[in-house]
């Protein structure tokens, strides 16, 4: 059983930074991709960043490239999302997710299998 718990959300001013953490229960080799998603008020959920847990290759949504960084610490079974230069449009609930499927890029957002409960990020102008 895979469980994911997000933390690190909060409220910041535009231009500020936050680091989200996702604590994953279970061996790291049980999943192929870890990803971060977000859902803004009144919007569909969208993929933000993905990382291959074996090779470390990363993918990002165009809207966050150059500002967000996804990373992993396999010893701690934890995935992070460092968010810099935050903008009001980054506001939303951020979810950590796991994809079991082996083949394909971790930016295949529709293929993720397990989800955390979400953590709120609010960026004020």
8, two tokens: 């690190």
Q: What is the predicted pLDDT for the residue at 55?
A: 83
Q: Identify any residues that bridge with 7 across adjacent strands, giving them in sequence order.
A: 21
For the chain, the average pLDDT equals: 92
Q: What is the predicted pLDDT for the residue at 35?
A: 96
The mean pLDDT value for 2-18 works out to 96
Q: Which range scores top for mean pLDDT: 24-28, 52-56, 94-98?
A: 94-98
Cβ count near 90 (within 10 Å): 22
Q: What is the predicted pLDDT for the residue at 29?
A: 57
Q: What is the predicted pLDDT for the residue at 27?
A: 61
| Rounded alpha-carbon distances, angstroms, from residue 52 to 15, 18, 75, 101, 104 | 28, 22, 15, 11, 10
- Predicted confidence band at 103 (pLDDT cuts at 50, 70, 90)? confident
**Residues 62-75: pLDDT tens digits?**
999 999 999 998 77
What is the distance between the alpha carbons of residues 27 and 48, in angstroms, rounded to a whole number?
A: 24
**Residues 74-84: pLDDT tens digits?**
778 899 999 99
């Amino acid at each position: 059983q895979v469980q994911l718990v997000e933390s690190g959300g909060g409220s910041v001013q535009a231009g500020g930074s936050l680091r989200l953490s996702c604590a994953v229960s279970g061996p790291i080799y049980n999943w192929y991709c870890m990803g971060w998603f977000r859902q803004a008020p009144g919007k569909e959920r969208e993929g933000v960043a993905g990382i291959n847990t074996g090779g470390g290759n990363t993918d990002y949504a165009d809207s966050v490239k150059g500002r967000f960084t996804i990373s992993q610490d396999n010893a701690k079974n934890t995935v992070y999302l460092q968010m810099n230069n935050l903008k009001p449009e980054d506001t939303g609930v951020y979810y950590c997710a796991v994809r079991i499927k082996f083949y394909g890029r971790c930016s295949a957002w529709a293929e993720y299998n397990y989800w955390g409960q979400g953590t709120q990020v609010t960026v004020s102008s």
